[in-house]
Amino acid sequence: MSQTKPLPKRLMISVAVAQGLLLFFLYKAHDLKMWPSESPVVAFPLWTLVLVIPVFLLLSLGQGNDRKFLRLTGVFSVVLAVIAGYMGWQGEPYGEFPFSDLTAIYSLSISVACFKTLMYLQQRASPRDMSYQTLFTYSWRNFLILACSGLFVLGFGLLLLLWSKLFLIIGVDFFESLFSEQWFLFPVLGFAFGLGTIIFRELLPVLDSITTLLQGLIKILLPMALFLAVLFVLALPFTGIAILWETGIGTTLLLWLTALILFFTNAVYQDSSGVNPYSPIIHRLISLGLCVLPIICCLSFYGLLLRWEQYGLTVQRGWGFLVWLILSLFSVGYVWGIVTRRASWPLVLGKVNTVMGLTLVALMVLTNSPLLNLREMSVASQFSRVENGTIQLKDLDFFYIHYHLGRSGYLAIEKLKREHADLDADILEKINNPVRPMMAAKNIDFDKFWREINYRPKTFEVPRQVVKLIEQGSPNFMRVGPQDGVNEAVLIEADLNADGGLEYVLIRLFDRGDGRQEIFQANYYYLIDNQWRIGRLNHSGGRQHFFSSTGSSQMLSASSSNSGVIDTGKAIKTGKIETEKPFFENLKVGEILLQPN
C-alpha cells in the first residue's frame, strides 16, 4: 500500500485553504446571527459538508483512482446532506428550545460514521480486492495523519502567538492585530492543516512503524484486560450483582471494559493471517478469556434494562443500548469463531470486522434519521410513565424534555398545553420555566432552609422569582447541616445600586472550628428588564463591591463593634446594614466604562 503516484500538493493546499475560508464565512454568519445560522435545516448540511468532504479529499487524493473516489464521495455527500438536513429540521422552530445536545450527539455519531465510511471508500477506489488487512491499514493511517496534522496546527498556532508577543514587546503591534483577525486565522490554519496532511502522508512508512509500535504495547495490555475481565466475572457469584448497580456507573464500566478488550484484540490479531502473536499457551488462555465477553454483555444489558424500567428511556440510555448491541455482535462473532475454529479463530476476525464495520455505519446513519429517532422514543417513554401511573404529571422531568429532546420534546410540550387547558398552575410553571433536577435533591430540605434562614436587617417577604433562583442553585450551596460544615444562611435586603429598588444577597456561613464563622459562598440577586438574575460575589474581609448593569456601584458593609480578629459570621448577623459609596468612582473614556474593583 505504498504511494503509487506523487501527491497533488497544490490541489490539496487549495482544498485546505478553501475549507478554512468556508468555515470562516459559516462562523461569521453564526456570530452575527445571519443566514443560514438561524435556519438549522440549511446550516447543518453546510457545516457537515464543509467539515467532512475536504478532509476526505486531503486524506485520499493521489492514493489510487481519484475519479472513482470522487464519484463515491459525491454519492456519500448526498446521503450526508440528507441526514444533516433532517437533523437540522430537528432544531426547528429555531429559538424555541435549545438543541446543543442534539448537535453534540449528531457530531459524534456522524464523525464515527464518516471515519468508518472513508476507509471503505478508499478501499473501493483502490485497485486491490476488499480485505480486512487493507481496511485496517487505512484506518490506522487516517487516524494517525489526522492526529499528527492536528498537533501540527496546534504548534503552528502557538508559533504565531509567540511571533505576535515578541514583536509586541518591542512596540510593533501589527502582528498581534493581524494574527487575532478571524479572516486571517481561518484560512491560515486551514493551510497549516493541509500542509500537515501532505507532510505526514509522505511519511507512510513512519506511520506504519508507529502502528507497529502501538500494536506491541497493546499486545501486553490485552492479556491484562482479559485477566481483569475473567477475575471480575469469577468474583460476582461471591459478591452478587446488585452492588454493581448501586454506583450508577456499573453498566458504563462494563461497556468500556468490553470495548477495550475488543479494540485490543483487533489491534493484536489484525492481519487475520492465522499467525499467532503469542505462544500457544498464551493464545489458548486469550481464547478462553474472550469467552467471558458475552457474559459481560448480558450483565450490561441487565443494567440498562433495570434503569429503563426505573426511570424510562432517555437518549443516553438509548445510545447505551446501541453501544451494547454493537459490542455484543462483535463479542458473539469472536466467540463463534473460537467455537468453530478453535485455535485458528483469528481467521474469522476479518470477516466479522468487515461486516460489523458496515453495520456500525448503518446504525450511525439510522440514529440520525426518522427510522431510529431516540429523542422521539424518549418522549414517548417519559409520557408513558405518566399514562400508566408510574409517576404523576407534576413529577415529569420537564427540564430534560425541554433542554435535551429537541423538536420532539418541544412538540410534546406544546401538545400537552393544547390538549390540557386546565393544567394546574404549578405544572404550568414547571412547563414554562423548567428547572434542572438538582443532584442529591433528597438531601435538601427547603422548608428547613427557609425556616432557619436569618433575615437582615429585618424579616421581609422574598419575591417568588428570587426564591426560585435560590432553590435551583448549586446543591452544595443549598445543603443545610453540620455534616456539610455549612449550617447557616443569611439573606440581606438592600439597595445595592442606588436606583430605589431592592436587591438581595444570600450568604452561606461555615464554622471555622474555633467558635467563629466565615463566608462559604455569597450570591446576589438583582432585577433587570423585569427579570431577576443572579451574580456571584467574591468576599474579602468584611467588604465587597457590587456592580449593577448600569455601571453604578455601592459597597455593602456589615459593621461590627468587635475589635481585633473579626468574627465574620457574627458581624453579618448582628452588624448594621448600610451601603457605602466606592472609594474610587468609575472612569468613563468616550463610550468605554472602567470600573475599579
- Please check whether residues 580 and 515 belong to one and the same domain: yes
- Please check whether residues 512 and 490 belong to one and the same domain: yes
- Please check whether residues 249 and 318 belong to one and the same domain: yes
- Total structural domains within the chain: 4
pLDDT for 596: 58
- Please check whether residues 334 and 421 belong to one and the same domain: no
Confidence of residue 403 (pLDDT cuts 50, 70, 90): confident
Q: How far apart are CA 472 and CA 481, in angstroms?
A: 18
pLDDT digit string, tens, across residues 205-244: 999 899 989 988 999 999 999 999 999 999 999 888 888 8
Q: Which residue has the higher pLDDT, 584 or 169?
A: 169
Identify whether 4 is part of a domain. no
271 pLDDT above the threshold of 80: no
pLDDT for 559: 55
Q: Which of 145-154, 229-238, 410-419 has the lowest mean pLDDT?
A: 410-419
- Orientation angle between helical segments 250-268 and 346-366, nearest 10 degrees: 130
Q: How far apart are CA 263 and CA 293, in angstroms?
A: 13
Q: What is the mean pLDDT of the chain?
A: 83
Q: Which of 420-429, 442-451, 490-499 has the lowest mean pLDDT?
A: 442-451
- Please check whether residues 190 and 230 belong to one and the same domain: no
- Please check whether residues 72 and 162 belong to one and the same domain: yes
Identify whether 2 is part of a domain. no
Q: How far apart are CA 7 and CA 201, in angstroms?
A: 9
Q: What is the DSSP letter of 156?
A: H
542 pLDDT above the threshold of 50: no
Identify whether 422 is part of a domain. yes
- Please check whether residues 320 and 268 belong to one and the same domain: yes
pLDDT digit string, tens, across residues 95-149: 888 888 899 999 999 999 999 999 999 988 887 777 788 888 899 999 999 999 9
Q: Judging by DSSP bridges, how do beta strands 543-547 and 531-537 pair with one another? A: unpaired
Mean pLDDT, residues 304-308 taken together: 90
pLDDT for 2: 47
Q: Which of 168-172, 247-251, 286-290, 431-435 has the lowest mean pLDDT?
A: 431-435
Q: Which of 258-267, 402-411, 546-555, 576-585 has the lowest mean pLDDT?
A: 546-555
Last residue of a domain, one of 168, 202, 236: 202
Identify whether 420 is part of a domain. yes
pLDDT for 538: 60
pLDDT digit string, tens, across residues 481-490: 444 444 678 8
Q: Which of 65-79, 223-237, 465-479 has the lowest mean pLDDT?
A: 465-479
Last residue of a domain, one of 393, 411, 432: 432
Instruction: Provide the residue range defining the domain that includes 574.
Output: 441-594
Q: Which residue has the higher pLDDT, 273 or 355?
A: 355
- What's the gap between Cα 156 and its chain centre? 26
- Please check whether residues 381 and 458 belong to one and the same domain: no
Question: Would you state the cell numbers that stand for residue 125, as one nine-digit string?
Answer: 477506489
Most confident of 57-61, 240-244, 582-586: 57-61
Question: Would you state the cell numbers that stand for residue 113, as one nine-digit string?
Answer: 460514521
pLDDT for 130: 72
Identify whether 426 is part of a domain. yes
- Please check whether residues 393 and 505 belong to one and the same domain: no
- State the residue for C-alpha cell 492585530: 177
Identify whether 1 is part of a domain. no
pLDDT for 302: 92
Q: How far apart are CA 506 and CA 522, in angstroms?
A: 6
Identify whether 260 is part of a domain. yes
pLDDT for 563: 45
Confidence of residue 94 (pLDDT cuts 50, 70, 90): confident
Structure-derived torsion over alpha carbons of residues 258, 262, 268, 271, reported in degrees to the nearest 10: 170
- Please check whether residues 86 and 28 belong to one and the same domain: yes
Identify whether 3 is part of a domain. no
Q: Which residue has the higher pLDDT, 544 or 72?
A: 72
User: What one-letter code names the amino acid at 292?
Assistant: V
Q: How far apart are CA 14 and CA 54, in angstroms?
A: 10
Last residue of a domain, one of 202, 227, 248: 202
- Please check whether residues 65 and 142 belong to one and the same domain: yes
pLDDT for 107: 94
Q: What is the DSSP letter of 483?
A: G
- Please check whether residues 186 and 301 belong to one and the same domain: no
Q: How far apart are CA 51 and CA 26, in angstroms?
A: 11
Query: For residue 516, which of 480, 488, 540 has the smallest C-alpha distance?
Result: 488
pLDDT for 480: 47
Q: What is the DSSP string of 160-192?
A: HHHHHHHHHHTT--HHHHHHT-HHHHHHHHHHH
Q: How far apart are CA 162 and CA 160, in angstroms?
A: 5
